[in-house]
Structure 1
């Protein structure tokens, strides 16, 4: 297998269709996301955001094309082992938090070390090398969570736990992060701290793919927007061209406008 090159797109969908029962969660979706472009996949609940994430992480599989064309490529390849994907594309999601909570007694450092072993947490301390431990501590530091290394994961606040999940996603030094509503459930202070960390990672060269319906997560570094509705793309392009009242209205089926600011927010348009 060839090593991914910088020229290959991070994610490429070629009329990808995903079925959930008889419903099309994604409907012939075509999308090309190059490395280095910070992108938000934005839309209301039920628009296909979760299916998009699960398609990329190989939890769902697309309908195959009759002519054999691969509907999904990640970094130029359509065949990936799930564990291998995580070395290139770190995933930050609430699902990982729930999984880690199911393991009693693990520390934040155990949770990050587990990524190196393709497990939820590291238990065999004899198998942990000094290099692995240093890599875990480096990831915790990048996520501004090194001070949490020895804390029991179950005792962490929601904001602290989200940082540890981010550190786990960074453990392999991925080229990109896939972020599933990363600040959901955080208070205003914890959310701002996390978003500041994501801004720093973006500036340092980690590509961000944000999947969300929260306007406040649209940090300034995200300059490209994909609007989804009912498994299809309503619009795609530069932020200023896509976040218009007309296109937001089509995506969310409501009179909305974007208020850029710190943080940005969606506002209802009165008397629309």
Structure 2
């Protein structure tokens, strides 16, 4: 519930460790709320029948700082926090991931191991050349890669990507998606939240369709990215097509 509005309604969803998953749905379907529930920014109402329980990595009780060392989060909202107000240098932004802080302060004790892992994460995310620049000076795509690096410093078991391509042009989006493919192939579980079929990576083969706060359908791309399923999800006639390793969708 948010106020008196039911946002997620009897939602039941299970994602296996290592199962790259896309959560797809129109605006208002509950995607952003689901992200906040997974990230422990919101808590569902507990019911007498035991529903309302959220288990992440097999546990329903977490210290939030511990959880976020295992679950990296990348979103436009996180980026906004780093590109406004007080300037934050790129390397400091990544190192600050160890402290769940916005930047590095005098009371943070940064070790050589932290610096080494930050440099490795920046290289892994294709952002090592951005060291020395302020986050606010970066393009949207550049800043998004730095946030990927920040999420990777803990070597998380999974990355939660909430509309990660928002604000990217076509070329930047493709480059960013290719960097995510490399992470998926290297063993990082991806949970991609989007309303664009075109952003579902070839490595992702589990798709969850959300509609009106409920799981409308879930399964393989072949079973979910169909004309009928997408039309019912978005409430308008949709035609799905496949282009090489990617799918696309357009209003019919």
- Report the TM range for the smaller structure's normalisation: over 0.9
Distance 1:126 1:45, change over 3 A: closer
Matched, 1:217 2:199: yes
Aligned equivalent of 1:264, options 241, 247, 251: 247
> Aligned pairs, how many?
251
Q: What's the counterpart of residue 33 of structure 2? A: 51
Distance 2:108 2:164 in 1: 33
* Aligned residues of 2:99 and 2:108 also touching (Cα < 8 A): no
The answer as to 2:108 corresponding to 1:130 is no
Q: How does 1:1-272 map to 2 (within 5 A)?
A: 19-68=1-50, 71-124=53-106, 127-261=109-243, 264-269=247-252
Q: How big is each residue's C-alpha offset from its partner over 1:207-257, in whole Å with a ceiling of 9 and x where there is no partner?
A: 111000012211111101100000011111111011111111111001002
- Counterpart CA distance in 1 for 2:233 and 2:17 is 26
- Answer 1 or 2: which has greater strand percent: 1
Shift of 1:126: 6.7
Cα distance between partner residues in 1 of 2:61 and 2:184 = 27
2-structure distance, mates of 1:256, 1:170: 36
Shift in CA distance, 67/41, structure 1 to aligned 2, threshold 3 Å: same
In the TM superposition, residue 65 of structure 1 has moved relative to its aligned partner by 2.1
* Greater CA drift, 246-255 or 102-111: 102-111
Task: Tell me, yes or no, if the aligned pair for 1:97 and 1:161 is still in contact at 8 Å.
Answer: yes
Higher relative contact order (CA 8 A, sep 6+): 2
Q: TM-score, normalised by structure 1?
A: 0.89
Per the normalisation by structure 2, the TM-score is 0.95
Task: Give the aligned partner of residue 7 of structure 1.
Answer: none
- For residues 126 and 229 of structure 1, what CA distance do their matches in structure 2 show? 44
Deviates more, 1:62-71 or 1:47-56: 62-71
Provide Cα deviations, 1:62-119, integer angstroms capped at 9, x if missing partner.
Answer: 0102145661000110111211111111111111111112342321111111111111
CA contact (8 A) 2:207 2:219 kept: yes
Q: CA deviation digits over 1:13-52, x for unaligned, max 9?
A: xxxxxx1112211001111100111110000000000000
RMSD between aligned alpha carbons? 1.4
Q: Distance in 1 between matches of 2:149 and 2:226?
A: 35
Q: For 1:161-203, what per-residue CA distance to the aligned partner results, in whole angstroms no more than 9, with x for missing partners?
A: 0101111111110011111111111111211111001001101
**In the alignment, is the contact (CA less than 8 A) between 2:25 and 2:234 conserved in 1?**
yes
Contact 2:36–2:42 (Cα < 8 Å) also in 1: yes
Q: Which runs of 5+ in 2 are unaligned?
A: none
Distance 1:68 1:115, change over 3 A: same
